Structure 1
Amino acid sequence: MTATMDLPLDDRLQLGVQTIHRRTEPATAPWLPTIDEMAELVGLVDRCFYDSMWVGDHVAFTIAIFDPLLQLAQAAVVSRRLTFGTGVYLLPLRHPTPVAKQVATLDHLTEGRFIFGVGVGGEFPKEYEACGVPIGERGARLSESVAVLRALWTGEPVSHAGRFFTFEGVRMLPPTRRPGGPPIWAGGRTDAALRRVARRLDGWMSYVVTPEMFRDGLAKIATAAAEAGRVFERGFGTSHLLFTRIDDSYEKALDAATVSLSQRYAMDFRKAAQRYCALGTPQQVAETVQRFHAAGARHIVLDFVGPYEERDRQIERFAAEAMPLLADLRGPRQPGA
């Protein structure tokens, strides 16, 4: 038995869709997304029997991007079934006290269907500079911020004296909808990030890793959790953000993924797309998802790449042609689905 088997993983595979508002790049005209555009997308994801919707976060990025918490608050009005999550929120860029209020509010507005995915970022140093946060402190700030969040979410008077934040007798009301607050999952691939997950967080979120790398990361988390005597009373979440493109052939999917991801990350992404993306026919894409599930991932979040105008069709095609191939991993539909 591998170390990963010691973690209390979910029983079934869950599938999510990443990103609500996204514009075509390159573009020169003003970007003016609409409420109807958001509502139509969330409704489509709901009708296609995905399990969740996720939004990423940057203060300053290579392309236009909105605040994730505001987007999810609006999206939650459309669906009474979907879970919503941040994948991932750059918590070290913010003071954790107002974030605690925002996330507690979102936990209520989603009726308890929210997962708070957090991360440290760092690939865009200018956003740290703009927020007045030393980039070298981001890991330590995330760890302390998580402690602040959980204390404030109790609704009881709490005090905190840490390296970065200090306060006495603060009571934040209302407490979160769920006792203990929403699950906090964290990204990261370094050994330090994996140890942080093992000791402090409720789950792990990965991206740009292979199934083999995912399995190795979970093994490190399991080992560190055992060494720390950690008990995951609410289970342990395992999530992977998977860049995905369905097409008539692998080559066509690779070409489309390369164009959009190279634009998004301001670099030639072709080799990375070959290694890390789920590309090709529905069968090929489903097989990639199956490999991540076998490695321990229970929440696969699909970021459908390619021209923005084709995203709805990608969502529908995956649901119609790839999702049935994963039915044995997903189990029966849940009540209300």
Structure 2
Amino acid sequence: MTIRIGIQLGQWPSADLSAGAVTELIDSLEGLEVDSLWVSDRMVSSALTLEPITFLSFVAGRLTKMKLGTSALVLPARHPVLLAKELATLDFLSRGRLFPAIGLGGDESRDLQAAGIDRKERAGRTDEAIALMRKLWSESQVTFAGKYYSVEEVTLMPRPWQKNGPPLWIGGRSEAALRRTGRLGDGWLVSSVSPQEVEAGIGSIRRYAAEASRAVPEDHFGVLIPFYFADSAESALDLVGRTIRPRPDLPIDQFTAFGTPGQVRAKVQTYIRAGASKFVMRPCGPFRGWREQIEILAREVIAPMQTPQ
């Protein structure tokens, strides 16, 4: 199993953040052997959230080795023909470094309403969009007649750099998300889950995939983990615990990696034993401390744990 560890830059903790500060942080990542850069998606929010495709296109022009991912792109809020064109262009220009994870949008998100999409339609739209985008990435003169999307004799160029298009990983921990990953996904990227839930989720995905006469590759199971280095897990929780979106049914320490380097490595190792091999680590705390936190992660976690390329 190939272990790879990347970084997520999601909701920025300060609305006063400058473009220069963002660029400075990004430019420091590639020299740290960080595998990939992932960005979250929130169309409408009072918090500072950068539009992911635009942002990743900017990043692709600055970084030459790191993979680029979304975690997760709210698929039903976007028209699949335009999105297929955008993702194909980005994958082509980055020479196959794009790895989008997609989802339906969180229950608290207002993105679907802002885009004029009925929440009751989001699952059906997502399934159709996946099928249509894959056809547009691999075929010419595509005709598609669905409930929500239809095209007639459409061809998109350029083709993605990756044959048949970038792999589509599915986000979410609901049973419906596990079923969709098994039926349609190339991988699974999940957040706010314990190692035990990851192990159970992988088992369910494999079962659903077998029922659909397909398989999800063994090393295509990933976890997004908030992290913060401090003298202890308890002090880290005191310092940044309030920045973590809580789950009413699971303590925060069950799905975060807080504390000393040894404690953070140990937490990642529990997810590896559960079957995960791809990790998206999200720095917590004030932005001014992110670079130091990422540098510690690179030295103490990525260097000893990541599979060499």
TM-score band by shorter chain is over 0.9
State the TM-score, normalizing by the size of structure 1: 0.86
Q: What is the Cα deviation at residue 62 of structure 1? A: 5.1
- In the alignment, is residue 239 of structure 1 matched against residue 222 of structure 2? yes
CA contact (8 A) 2:196 2:274 kept: yes
Q: How many residues were matched structurally?
A: 309
Task: Tell me the equivalent position of 2:257.
Answer: 278
Q: What is the Cα deviation at residue 236 of structure 1? A: 5.5
Which residue identity is paired with 2:236?
A
Task: Tell me the equivalent position of 1:260.
Answer: 243
Identify if the C-alpha distance between structure 1 residues 62 and 217 changes in structure 2 by more than 3 Å, giving closer, same or farther.
farther
- Structure 1 residue corresponding to 2:4, chosen from 9, 14, 17: 14
SS at match of 2:120: helix
- In the alignment, is residue 41 of structure 1 matched against residue 25 of structure 2? yes
- In the alignment, is residue 139 of structure 1 matched against residue 118 of structure 2? no
Which residue identity is paired with 1:19?
L
Encode CA deviations 1:26-76: one digit per residue, 9 max, x unaligned: x6xxx3522x43332223221111100000001123522110011100111
CA contact (8 A) 1:257 1:273 kept: no
Identify if the C-alpha distance between structure 1 residues 54 and 311 changes in structure 2 by more than 3 Å, giving closer, same or farther.
same
CA distance in 1, matches of 2:46, 2:300: 33
Task: Tell me the equivalent position of 1:288.
Answer: 267
CA distance in 1, matches of 2:157, 2:299: 44
Which residue identity is paired with 1:260?
T
- Write out aligned runs for 1:91-110 (5 A): 91-110=75-94
Identical counterparts, % of pairs: 33
Which residue identity is paired with 1:33?
S
Which residue identity is paired with 1:15?
I
CA contact (8 A) 2:4 2:307 kept: no
- Write out aligned runs for 1:145-164 (5 A): 145-164=129-148
Q: What is the Cα deviation at residue 272 of structure 1? A: 4.0
- In the alignment, is residue 228 of structure 1 matched against residue 222 of structure 2? no
Identify if the C-alpha distance between structure 1 residues 37 and 297 changes in structure 2 by more than 3 Å, giving closer, same or farther.
same
- In the alignment, is residue 78 of structure 1 matched against residue 68 of structure 2? no
Q: What is the Cα deviation at residue 167 of structure 1? A: 1.6
Task: Tell me the equivalent position of 2:195.
Answer: 211
CA distance in 2, matches of 1:308, 1:273: 21
Identify if the C-alpha distance between structure 1 residues 132 and 236 changes in structure 2 by more than 3 Å, giving closer, same or farther.
farther
CA distance in 1, matches of 2:258, 2:213: 40
Q: What is the Cα deviation at residue 129 of structure 1? A: 1.4
- In the alignment, is residue 317 of structure 1 matched against residue 300 of structure 2? no
Q: What is the Cα deviation at residue 139 of structure 1? A: 1.3
Which residue identity is paired with 2:300?
E
CA distance in 1, matches of 2:49, 2:29: 20
CA distance in 2, matches of 1:318, 1:163: 46
Which residue identity is paired with 2:239?
A
Which residue identity is paired with 1:64?
L
CA distance in 2, matches of 1:235, 1:159: 33
Which residue identity is paired with 2:4?
Q
Task: Tell me the equivalent position of 2:103.
Answer: 119
Structure 1: runs of 5 or more not aligned: 1-10
Encode CA deviations 1:206-254: one digit per residue, 9 max, x unaligned: 000000000000000001111111145x765111110111111112210
SS at match of 1:88: strand
Task: Tell me the equivalent position of 2:166.
Answer: 182
Identify if the C-alpha distance between structure 1 residues 158 and 312 changes in structure 2 by more than 3 Å, giving closer, same or farther.
same
CA distance in 2, matches of 1:286, 1:249: 13
